Structure 1
Amino acid sequence: MPQTITIQIRIYPHDQAILVEMGNTYIQTVNKLTEQAEMSGMFPKLTSKNLSVNLPSAVKNQIIRDAKSIFKKVNKLKKRPILKKPVYHINNQNYTIGENSVSFPVFMDGKVQRLVVPAHIPDQERTLLSDSKNGLLRVVQKSEKWFVQVAIERPTMQTTGDVVMGVDLGLKVPAVSVTSNGKTKFYGNGRKNKFIRRKYLSHRRKLGKLKKLSAIRKMCDKESRYMRDQNHKISREIVNMAIKQNVSIIKLEKLTNLRKTTRQSRKNAKNLHNWSFFQLQMFITYKAAIAGIKVGQVNPAFTSQTCPICGQLNKAKDRTYQCTCGYQAHRDRVGAINIMYQPVIDGNSLSA
């Protein structure tokens, strides 16, 4: 079964106003169709000719498909989802990705035209595009920057190894991995991360007193980029380790109750709620899928308190875990070992 992952490509449009207008028209039309369907209790039969909006026919058809998909969720969610962020969807038959550009249809100067936008396509993304089947393309804006996100299907390339890896995530030590063949590795620098976060927080407070809102937003963007860069580096190291050790499945904590099960102190509480554990997991999952390695979720409860030898519960003192049976190890290594031994929840693995 093929794996579906999404790659992101930076684009540099000369006329951003066109993309803003297209994105706003797109979500407004989707919201209008779903509202009408909700009021009538059924989704009507529509074609692109029924939509009187200034968009290409291919995009109108995609709007109908998106609106129908959202309407199907109304009964399950008991509330109609409303799109708020401008977005522009194009199916795989109507866009082209070149060497250094992306082209897709837009409505401009009273007619449908093909817009060619300069793009930066890294080597890894270029390789993925050449080896995969391209799917839906989304044009989005993030912090005044423009991107296209392309869903691609890759044939399943499952590794044949039988080694299992457990990964424990934390603040003082961002990540620890342990494999069933006895390899342990610590990733990242928790102290440095906390220092960087405190520095940005201090700067934001000073700027806040001066009421420099624009500078505060830029500072937040810098902090977000730093965190994203750290998560990319850590996830790459983890997956490289898994490839080297011939790992077939990486086990991670289920994040739903992570903040409840993680030990907190006053100085760590704010960092815990700010640090993007979910983003790190998604990066690990994405990179593992490319390498043909499965990723599964396990219950995180007591993983750092349970002795891997005798099963007794003990509270660690700072970073050192010691059991009455004589077993002693780093607290986060104990967590990774127990995650490795835990069964995957519901027997399901994460897809990228």
Structure 2
Amino acid sequence: MSQTITVKIKLLPTKEQASILKDMSKEYISTINSLVSEMVDEKKSTKKSSKDLPASLPSAVKNQAIKDAKSVFKKARKSKYKTIPVLKKPVCVWNNQNYSLNFTHISMPIMIDRKATKTPIRALLVDKANRNFDLLKHKLGTLRITQKSGKWIAQISVTIPTSEKTGTKVMGVDLGLKVPAVAVTDEEKTRFFGNGRQNKYVRRKFKSKRKKLGKLKKLNAIRKLNDKEQRYMKDQDHKISREIVNFAIDHNISVIRLEQLANIRQTARTSRKNERNLHSWSFYRLSQFIEYKANLEGIKVEYVNPAYTSQTCPKCHEKNKAQDRKYKCKCGFEKHRDLVGAMNIRYAPVVDGNSQPA
């Protein structure tokens, strides 16, 4: 078994290198769109090779552009040409045979004086925990370079071998706003993750700063602040997901169960004051972080039907509505509301029907 993930690395190109990458990214997208247009007109896949393309790109990048164009054309043909995708975001892609890396640089062929020259570009490959470089020791796939908010980012796909854990120990995880996550094992070991109050406080501060900057019409400052807030939210999701997976490892869990989040914004418990947080907090991203980190450890992730998980009594199965943060049942059962949700998620029907026995 294996899993493919994307490792993101910040690039620090010189001004000259940044200018070349910018031109190549635009040329790459233009080449793909041109090839797709030709294939749609002819109603068949192209037989062109890198020699047939006039684009100012290294031959390896041209070949990758042809491959990507064929992939886009397949989507257009599948829709019977009703939808023809047009790529807009500048990006440039190299396959795994045409770049190399070390502790400080990523080297790939770029166009210098109209010639393809393999050039090292400075990169922050090593973070504080050596996490990135440890991941990059596995099988590498394509390298994508793009610019986001003025910063250059390298995205490398990495295939990591995994082995699925044996056993049937199940853990339910309930995601929410006031309590970002609650986990319960089938041995009744419980833990609360994250701090919802702190998250809301931080986001109120960002909102207040944006309001002041808006009155001063400082749009660039607002954009930078938005990026900062998104980085904060993403960092919280990374930390919480890592803690959840570590908790699962500590208790020899083989299956983590989460709610299917398709309709969470319609079904989640909230009030008017929490409405903005509900619609801007990425439950999906947190669940994806939990899934990919769990899979790397050989832990399977299953998604369950969320219906009545927070209302059903785990002891007698009667349905009751929780009062504030406490859940009380006539049978005498009493727990934190989110804890009840996590307990029921352990045994709720799995969406695809392929569940481990719990």
Report the TM range for the smaller structure's normalisation. Answer: over 0.9
Residue 106 of structure 2 corresponds to 102
125, 129, 140: which is aligned to 2:136?
129
Q: Tell me the amino acid that sits aligned with residue 183 of structure 1.
A: K
Q: Is the 8 A contact 2:35 2:46 kept in 1?
A: no
Q: Tell me the amino acid that sits aligned with residue 247 of structure 2.
A: M
* 1:4-153 pair list within 5 angstroms: 4-14=4-14, 15-77=17-79, 78-121=82-125, 122=127, 123-130=130-137, 132-153=138-159
Q: Which runs of 5+ in 1 are unaligned?
A: none
TM-score (norm 1): 0.95
Cα deviation code 1:146-167 (max 9, x no counterpart): 2211111122222234311111
Q: Is the 8 A contact 1:162 1:246 kept in 2?
A: no
Q: Matched residues in 2 for 1:170 and 1:259: separation?
A: 11
Q: Tell me the amino acid that sits aligned with residue 9 of structure 2.
A: I
Q: Is the 8 A contact 2:76 2:84 kept in 1?
A: yes
Q: Tell me the amino acid that sits aligned with residue 218 of structure 1.
A: K
Q: 1:176 to 1:100 in 2, by over 3 A?
A: same
The answer to whether 1:2 aligns with 2:6 is no
Give the drift of 1:266: 0.5
Runs of 4+ in 1 over 6 A off after TM superposition: none
Q: Tell me the amino acid that sits aligned with residue 54 of structure 2.
A: S
The secondary structure found in structure 2 opposite 1:342 is coil
Give the drift of 1:2: 2.0
Q: Matched residues in 1 for 2:331 and 2:209: separation?
A: 48
Q: Percent identity?
A: 56
Q: Tell me the amino acid that sits aligned with residue 233 of structure 2.
A: M
Q: Which runs of 5+ in 2 are unaligned?
A: none
The secondary structure found in structure 2 opposite 1:278 is helix
The answer to whether 1:181 aligns with 2:198 is no
The secondary structure found in structure 1 opposite 2:349 is coil
Residue 218 of structure 1 corresponds to 224
The secondary structure found in structure 1 opposite 2:262 is helix
* 1:241-256 pair list within 5 angstroms: 241-256=247-262
Residue 326 of structure 1 corresponds to 332
Aligned length: 348
Give the drift of 1:244: 0.7
The secondary structure found in structure 2 opposite 1:140 is strand
Give the drift of 1:61: 0.7
Q: Is the 8 A contact 1:136 1:151 kept in 2?
A: yes
Q: Matched residues in 2 for 1:244 and 1:161: separation?
A: 14
Q: Matched residues in 2 for 1:32 and 1:318: separation?
A: 58
